[in-house]
A and B are shown apart, each in its own frame.
Chain A
């Protein structure tokens, strides 16, 4: 079964990788969705790399769509620019969601075989969960 892929774009390589592990861990042993981290610049510094984002998206793309979650600033703008230029795989979408909670929701939902709309909606709903 092809599932929606999830790409996590952060200014920090460590943050992107850790959130990927966290989301896969919380999604449980049955989590089958592909997740890839695209953190920091190609040179290993804080920032955003379009190359790393494109590579991560191609890595997780199985033809069912790719949900991209981002932290802030250049991560948001770079993904938007890549989408406008149609450089990302067909069916790629920037998700408006909190990074950590959205990543967990996206991976859990994608692992059920849900389609891209459902994955994006689940990640976005994480905004509605109030903590106090």
Chain B
């Protein structure tokens, strides 16, 4: 990552626009992944959430990266309707709080803030790596942010693929026991999409 690059509010606006776009494109696939091991609503829930985020960012444009991420998090908590709402909401809200009121942030500040956000997600959900949850994409993804946004997106994608042979230990899928094995986790999949959107915003798209 370029040490001198700074990221302004417009960068974060591009990230959320790219996130809403990819959720729109992939909503059907996310819901399909959620059918055998979940309640078949992950795609439609995230679509409702990120559509609401787009509206919120347009109607009350935040002045700073931190304010933008916090508004994103609050909106997701109030609109998603499933467990991914408070989880992603906590990720963005905590990261936004970490960025404070700075008008521009460095890549390193963003990396550190997202790490705080992911740690808060782990604490809220009580999941550990290997439990077949969004953490299995978020943790390797955020760890690879020190290299580049592209590396983070790729690591998260690999993390999502690696959930296929795992047995779920959190959430509704955990009730299925061994029958949860062989399915890719929808939350890990959407996490990889969100980090892919971040790489797009940084001009490091695949």
Contact = CB atoms under 8 A, between A and B. Distances in A.
Do these two chains interact? Answer: yes
Interface of A: 41, 43, 45-51, 73-74, 77-78, 80-82, 84-85
Most buried by A among B74, B77, B171: B77
Given A47-B41, A73-B172, A81 B86 contact: yes
B199 interface: no
Contact of B171 (A43, A73, A78): A73
Contacts of B39: 46
B62 interface: no
21 contacts: A47-B45, A47-B81, A48-B82, A48-B85, A49-B78, A50-B78, A73-B171, A74-B81, A74-B82, A74-B83, A77-B83, A77-B85, A77-B86, A77-B125, A78-B85, A78-B86, A80-B124, A81-B86, A81-B90, A84-B90, A85-B74
The 9 closest A-B pairs by CB, nearest first: A47-B81, A81-B86, A77-B86, A74-B83, A41-B81, A50-B78, A78-B86, A73-B83, A74-B82
Most buried by B among A49, A51, A81, A85: A81
A45 B81 contact: yes
A77 B41 contact: no
Contacts, number: 48
A81 B85 CA distance: 10
Nearest to A40: B81
A50 B171 CA distance: 19
B57 to A, nearest CB: 19
Interface of B: 39, 41, 45, 74, 77-78, 81-83, 85-87, 89-90, 93, 124-125, 171-172
B87 A77 contact: yes
A77 B124 contact: yes
B93 A85 contact: yes
Nearest to B44: A45
A50 B76 CA distance: 10
Contacts of B45: 47
B34 to A, nearest CB: 13
Contacts of B171: 73
A85 B74 CA distance: 9
B81 A48 contact: yes
Nearest to A46: B39
Contacts of B81: 41, 43, 45, 47-49, 74
